[in-house]
Structure 1
Amino acid sequence: MLVIGDDLTGSNATGARFARAGLRTVSVSGIERVPCAQGADVVVLNLGTRQYPAGRARELVREAVGAVTPVDLIAKRVDTTLRGNVGAEVDALLGVLEPGTRALVVPAFPDAGRTTVGGLHLVDGVPLAETSAARDPLTPVRASRVATILRQGTELPIAELPLDVVESGVDVLAGRLADTDAPLVVCDATTNAHLGTIAEAAAKVQQQWGTRWVSVDSGPFAVQLTAALGIGPGVHELPPVLAVVASITGTTQEQVLELEQMLRARFVDVALDGLDARVVADRVAAQLRPGVRVVGIRTSPPAPGERIDPATAERIPRVLAEAVSILLAEHRFGGLYATGGDMAEATTAALASDGFAIDAEVLPLAVAGRLVGGPHDGLPFATKGGLIGGRDAALACVEHLISVSAQRERGTAQ
């Protein structure tokens, strides 16, 4: 795919997200350097047009489209505060792509405090026109409504899909996307889950009605859309990461939810009275299918006020570790992630591993490396304490494993 950016820093940040998703990504500045990216899954082309006159920005965008061919998806990377020639560059793209191509404008970047509600773009809850972006000395943003900002560079019809439609789910949203024929569609979003819903709906519309999309966003949505469309050499063949979560803390639950929202992880919930390793392994195996990048096991928390029997608490890691051993013996995985010190220790013991070769600290107290010894010697492995990190801590660990797995599959691992 091709990502067209207007600023080097933002372009590289978006490229890093694709790299973490396991795609070989090369970032270049200037159309003349595109040949350097030969063989990449994702070419991130920075045009540096944010402060250019609109006419010149249009010319460069049109040239960029022909610089990388063929591509399955084009993403127009825009600033998180929508500075620059946003409307003009999207207009230029639609003017040279095949008739019927539409722009899906999803500028929300929830992890950075950028959200879109009622068509208004917000920074930490403050309308864009009331933030420092409005006072930028070179590219001030005078409006908060996304459609108004786009209108400064295009006369094409613009549709807006509000948050309640997005929250209605993939099917409802896909229907609304299909019902409108506006070339530009702005979607509200306040969470990563919303980005995933929009991506799945757009993929459904493309599959059923043949609509071709251009992603217009600040980075995270394009990655979600790429995954939903199944784009990237080997994306379906890459072995999934197996995650095992024994911790039942609120922190861990939020981190697992982030894995589900961002990577569409499929977890099997194990009740405390259902600790049977063979049954658990079979349930996880049933989740394995092409395109699934993460499958996992997690312990169901006890009911409010219910206390866990100490013997049961001690047994949980051992049973889940035994299930992991069964799964690794019967199926192919690209990496293993374990949350909680007891879980990590029980897992390495169940796998008859002699140790753990540490390659990197993904974040404080979260490390990644490879198992040493035993039948799974060299398997990429990451572990983290149950109370460690913010909401995206588990995501960072699993994305690291996906990236390492992709490198190993291509024969480019260190």
Structure 2
Amino acid sequence: MAQVLVIGDDLTGSNATGALYARRGLRAVTVSDPTHVARYAHRVDVLVVNTASRHWSPARAYAAVRAAAATAGDAPLVVKRVDTTLRGNPGSELDAVADALAARAPAGRLRVLAVPAFPDAGRTTVGGLHLVDGVPLTRTAVARDPFDPVRHSRVTAVLGAQSRRTLGELPLDVVECGPGAVAAALRASPAEVVVCDATDNAHLETVARAAAALAVRDGIHWLALDSGPFGAALATELGIRPAVAPVRVLAVVGSVTDRTRDQLARTEAALGARWTELDPDRPDAERALAGLRTAATEGATVLGVRVRPAAPGPAPCGADTAAGILRCLADVARRAVDELRPGGLYASGGDVAAAVTAALGADGFAIDSEVLPLAISGRLVGGPRDGLPFATKGGLIGGPDAARDCLEHLRAAATRTALTPER
């Protein structure tokens, strides 16, 4: 059975949610008929079932979602995906999944974390109120939706209009105190459903880390109600990994700017990336390779080499130093690709990308897609590594999550497997 079962209420939201898990290296597929679950459940890590129930009556939606939830089997994580603006039947569908799972969990061990925030899409929750670009739901267009007008901005009010379960809130100041504070608050709350504030991705990770700790310590079985990103974060924190060996990604970064350092720090936190540093004054390819070998032996799936910032004082001779660093980075990339056999390669900085491409004997680069402006994903063409997934990004391009997004995109491209129905 798939390790994660996600139940969505419309196709576009279901597909978008599946993509969030795929970015974390998990194989995901969406089906719109519960009878197809058996065909795909043992072939993917994440199965997303779309019930298309957003515009149905609460009773009809409950029945459809409960039937979908009954297919969960022994999946370690079940997620009820809700609209980012809470349209539809979130309370009835939450109850449907919880009722279906109640028989699986020991008495009192099934709890619900409702984290509908989707910060990257401008959806946040503050003080229990759900906001779209900082505006409460009842002051946005969804309050006038002709099919499913949202009548409340408070998440507990939206859910409570349909759900039979007790509801509580976990405020932002607790979330910002870290996983320990969140775990303590969750443990102390008597509510069956706890709505958590969140305004950025770090908050989602904090709540997910706390929930995973309680799953281990207290044996809690979590049901997540979210719009996509929290469930994916929780899956990671619960230790859900691809059933097949994850593809290794190699990164080569030449920039030493503060922006780049911040971006790479995000990859360490979000992807478990391991970086070995090249001394700009004495670039040593063998030493860098030793660091990469150690990271690979210890199980890192995102590993790379970066240049250590120069020590304070007069800058070394520019052109010669830069050329030596580029030659060393290219040599490290060539030898690491040959030895560690990564499934994907990432290069940050135009000079670095060109040097690495040349060192690998490639003729060029087949472009597949733009991950973000001046960050491109594709494949090497020509040479002994023809077809190797390859992503490039300008060294000064993007916000704090730019490198993370590129590496996630590359890893997903490298691990993507065509799913064909069994006959």
Do both share a fold (TM > 0.5)? yes
Range 261-270 or range 66-75, more displaced:
261-270
Match of 2:16 in 1: 13
Any unmatched runs of 5+ in structure 1? none
Return the offset for 1:110: 1.0
Deviation at 1:403, TM superposition (A): 2.2
Instruction: Note the residue ranges of structure 2 that are not aligned, 5 or more in a row.
Output: none
**Does residue 1:163 correspond to 2:172, yes or no?**
yes
Give the aligned CA root-mean-square deviation in angstroms. Answer: 3.1
The answer as to 2:73 corresponding to 1:63 is no
2:402 and 2:265 map into 1 onto residues whose CA distance is: 11
Matches of 1:4 and 1:41 in 2, distance apart?
14
Match in the other structure for 1:54: 58
For the 8 Å contact 2:253–2:349, the answer to whether it is kept is: yes
| CA displacement at 1:367 relative to structure 2 | 3.3
Alignment partner of 1:398 out of 403, 407, 413:
407
Count how many residue pairs are aligned between Structure 1 and Structure 2: 409
Q: 1:186 to 1:268 in 2, by over 3 A?
A: farther
Match of 1:360 in 2: 368
CA distance, structure 1, for counterparts of residue 313 and residue 149 of structure 2: 54
Deviation of 1:118 after TM superposition, in Å, equals 2.2
Change (3 A) 1:86 1:408: closer
Whole-Å Cα distance in 2 between the matches of residues 410 and 59 of structure 1?
A: 29
2:303 equivalent to 1:298: no
What's the counterpart of residue 89 of structure 2? 85
Alignment partner of 1:259 is 2:262: no
Seen in structure 2, the aligned counterparts of structure 1 residues 371 and 248 have a Cα distance that, compared at 3 Å, is: farther
1:233-291 deviations in Å (ceiling 9; x for gaps): 436x3132122221245654554355345434344455645643333333444444676
Task: Supply the distance in 1 between the matched residues of 2:200 and 2:299 (Cα, whole angstroms).
Answer: 23
Distance in 1, matches of 2:243 and 2:418, equals 9
Once structures 1 and 2 are overlaid, which stretch shifts more, 175-184 or 335-344? 175-184
1:271/1:300 contact within 8 Å kept: yes
Could you tell me which of 184, 200, 211 is aligned with 2:209?
Answer: 200
1:337–1:410 distance in 2 versus 1, CA, 3 Å: farther
Distance across 2 between alignment mates of 1:41 and 1:154: 30
For residues 111 and 152 of structure 2, the distance between their equivalents in structure 1, rounded to whole angstroms, comes to 23
What letter corresponds to residue 214 of structure 2 in structure 1?
V
Quote the Cα distance in structure 1 between the aligned partners of 2:35 and 2:67: 10
Structure 2 counterpart of 1:3, from 3, 6, 9: 6
> What is the letter of the counterpart of residue 85 of structure 1?
N
DSSP-derived class of the 2:163 partner: coil
AA in 2 matched with 1:92: A
Aligned match for 2:182, one of 173, 198, 202: 173
Bigger mean CA deviation after superposition, 181-190 or 171-180: 171-180
The C-alpha deviation readout for 1:26-67, integer Å capped at 9, x for no partner, is 212233443453523222111122222222221111111123
Tell me the CA shift for residue 349 of structure 1.
3.8
Alpha carbons of 1:268 and 1:187: their partners in 2 closer, same or farther (altered >3 Å)? farther
- 1:278-317 to 2 correspondences below 5 Å: 278-288=286-296, 292-301=300-309, 309-310=317-318, 311-317=320-326
2:278 and 2:284 in contact (8 A); partners too = no
Counterparts in 2 of 1:176 and 1:324: CA distance versus 1, 3 Å: farther
Q: Describe the SS at the equivalent of 1:142.
A: coil
Q: Is the 8 A contact 1:353 1:371 kept in 2?
A: no
1:363-389 residue CA offsets vs partner (Å, 9 max, x unmatched): 454132036434x55432221222445
- 1:338 and 1:282, CA in 2 relative to 1: closer, same or farther beyond 3 A? same
Separation in 1, partners of 2:356, 2:210 = 38
User: SS at 1:153's partner residue?
Assistant: coil
Q: Please give the TM-score of this superposition, normalised by the length of structure 1.
A: 0.86
Distance change (3 Å), C-alpha of 1:408 and 1:78 = closer
8 Å contact 1:368–1:397 — kept in the other structure?
no
Distance in 1 between the 2:139 and 2:316 partners?
A: 51
Give the equivalent residue in structure 1 for 2:156. Answer: 147
Give the structure-2-normalised TM-score.
0.84
| Aligned residue identity for 1:86 | P
- One-letter code aligned to 1:8: L
Aligned to 2:342: 333
1:73 maps to which residue?
A: 77
- Structure 1 pair 274/79, CA: closer, same or farther in 2 (3 Å)? farther
Matching residue's letter, 2:59? G
| Amino acid corresponding to residue 358 of structure 1 in structure 2 | A
Cα distance in 2 between the residues matched to 1:18 and 1:102:
22
Taking only the aligned residue pairs, the percentage that are identical comes to 48
Q: Given residue 20 of structure 1, which amino acid in structure 2 is its aligned partner?
A: R
Are the counterparts in 2 of residues 62 and 92 from structure 1 also a CA contact under 8 Å?
yes
For 1:228, the equivalent position in structure 2 comes to 237
**Residues in 2 aligned to 1:272 and 1:45: alpha-carbon distance in whole angstroms:** 51
Shift of 1:132: 1.6
Q: Distance in 1 between matches of 2:194 and 2:141?
A: 26
Cα displacement (A) at 1:218: 0.8
- Alignment partners' CA distance in 1, 2:238 and 2:412: 19
Q: Trace 1:362-377 onto structure 2 (pairs within 5 A).
A: 362-363=370-371, 365=374, 366-370=376-380, 372-374=382-384, 376=385
**Contact 2:45–2:243 at 8 Å: present in 1 too?**
no
Instruction: Say if 1:334 and 1:379, in contact at 8 Å, map to a contact too.
Output: yes
Residue 21 of structure 1 aligns to a residue in which SS? coil
Report the alpha carbon displacement of residue 303 of structure 1 after superposing the two structures with TM.
8.2
Cα contact 2:172–2:197 (8 A) shared by 1: yes
CA positional deviation for 1:19: 2.9
Which one of 103, 106, 119 corresponds to residue 110 of structure 1?
119
